[in-house]
Amino acid sequence: MMLEIHNFTQNEIDEKLFQKAAEVALEIVSKENSALRQAQGRIEISLAIVGNGRMRRLNKMYRKKNRVTDVLSFGDKNILKYLAKAFPRLKKNSPSAGEEFIEPPDGVKRLGEIVICYPQAKKQAKRLNHSLEKELAILLVHGILHLAGYEHERGGKAEKEMREVEEQILAKILR
């Protein structure tokens, strides 16, 4: 598993914590997904750490919400095609559902990109009375679960399931 980190802030980050969080998240999610399990050593996720301005612009551009958010996930459509059959959480009416993934020449499966807003993470950590490192790990795991097809915005069973998997992963990371 390769985590490519781009820090667009002046803040220091713990790359080892991010790497551990990504590995544990993929390990747990892969247990019920054979495509992810088979590709796990060759999966790449890109992580961008940004400030408020860039996050606001991204949120406005992609979600039509003119405000800062804590984390955004952008799935790679090629990997979604590859995983569509194997991962039942992906929307069945997705235009890529059921299509085969064409292996890139380097064999790496690019799962997608996660963008975390550092100032927002810092604010949330303070409000929730836990460390910034814990909040950053929570946001990365949350983003990875979205890339893997988990969803919470509609509530109900899907939200409950996502929260349970999130807690399972975080318990392993933040021991």
Q: 6: annotated binding-site residue?
A: no
Q: 146: annotated binding-site residue?
A: yes
Q: 142: annotated binding-site residue?
A: yes
Instruction: Compute φ and ψ for 151, nearest 5 degrees.
Output: -140, 145
Within 8 A by CB and 6+ apart from 136, the residues are 13, 14, 17, 18, 116, 121
- Distance of alpha carbon 129 from alpha carbon 173, whole angstroms: 18
Residues 164, 29 contacting (CB under 8 angstroms) = no
Rg (CA), the chain: 16
- Known binding residues for Zn(2+) are 142, 146, 152
